Structure 1
């Protein structure tokens, strides 16, 4: 095998892996990273087991389907709605931080964040909503947006490193191959002069 051939082959493999990893780094976190929303009708209550610390959002699903029934409600919440989120183990209420900055749209479903709580350890919590007689659907879920972004950018960085390393190895392998060929040409002794033959 020519000098540099293995380096070129390794570089091509790394470049191909980088090309495969780039779209995978974007798609896999989006497909696998989202948490499952706990939907419930309001006014009403929801008992949730928290297994991972983090920021948990309460969502207003103003356009959705729940238990086979469609809901199309105004995006704005009605006056007088009360929100209570407590730790069932201690009975203490969580500080509810209002935030309507996030919204999600997909298919026939649309929702907007109402606010969130910060949970520092695994526990059981109770979400209680009162003061709305119209009937609507809320959901409660752990925020995974920033974690998903970290996975995406980390995957892209890894794919870029693999691809650029592959290109570098291919170039270095070509250089080695050319240098080896030049040395072979220099090592070939010149052909001896053939004496003239009298005719």
Structure 2
């Protein structure tokens, strides 16, 4: 096989690998982090250990499979919905309403209800009340800045992969179109 064709094939593979980075580096960890937040049924309560400072979100999982049962509820919260979140000292934390995040993964669909700001590691008690009927919820951190850094880094890596792939393809095309060098005539003996 000619060197130029090998370079073109290498360029295509390097370019494709740039897109594979996006799936491995961004999408899979994002889906895994959403699914790793503990689920619980409301009305009810959950004890959660916040290991580091940050914003911790409550999610309304309006479609979720829990213990083999598929819950398919309206996306809107029921009338009378109340949430109270306290830290290990018993201090009630201010709950900030925020419905800006939504997610979908397989059978699970959800939307953020709001969040609390945690300033130091603590154990949180989440209590949901004021409504009838069981509904699935989840609770956990939402590291938007960390996610955005991962997105920017992976976009840079994708660009570098595409640029390197394009460079290899161009180099391969140049090799294929280049005329072979003529051998100089042999010197007389």
Q: TM-score range by the shorter chain?
A: 0.7 to 0.9
Structure 1 stretches of 5 or more lacking a match?
A: 193-199
Compute the displacement of 1:128 (Å).
0.8
Separation of aligned partners in 1, 2:70 and 2:168: 57
Relative distance call for 1:77 and 1:21 in structure 2 (3 A) is same
* TM-score (normalizing by structure 2): 0.73
Taking only aligned residues, the RMSD between alpha carbons, in angstroms, comes to 3.5
**Equivalent residues in 2 for 1:111-130, closer than 5 Å:** 111-130=110-129
Separation of aligned partners in 1, 2:63 and 2:162: 43
Separation of aligned partners in 1, 2:94 and 2:11: 49
Please tell me whether the aligned partners of residues 47 and 124 of structure 1 are also in contact (alpha carbons under 8 angstroms).
yes
Compute the displacement of 1:41 (Å).
0.9
Equivalenced residue count is 181
Separation of aligned partners in 2, 1:128 and 1:170: 59
Please tell me whether the aligned partners of residues 41 and 135 of structure 2 are also in contact (alpha carbons under 8 angstroms).
yes
Compute the displacement of 1:18 (Å).
5.0
Question: 1:147 aligns to what?
Answer: 146
Please tell me whether the aligned partners of residues 57 and 140 of structure 2 are also in contact (alpha carbons under 8 angstroms).
yes
Deviation per CA, 1:142-197: give whole Å up to 9, x if none: 1145533431331221232354256558878979xx9xx7xx99xx79x89xxxxx
Question: 1:30 aligns to what?
Answer: 27
* SS across alignment from 2:79: coil
Matched, 1:156 2:155: yes
Separation of aligned partners in 2, 1:115 and 1:61: 13
* TM-score (normalizing by structure 1): 0.70
Relative distance call for 1:108 and 1:167 in structure 2 (3 A) is closer
Deviation per CA, 1:89-142: give whole Å up to 9, x if none: x22222111012222233332222111112233221110111122121111121
Question: 2:18 aligns to what?
Answer: 21
Question: 1:195 aligns to what?
Answer: none
Structure 2 stretches of 5 or more lacking a match?
A: none
The structure whose Rg is larger is 1
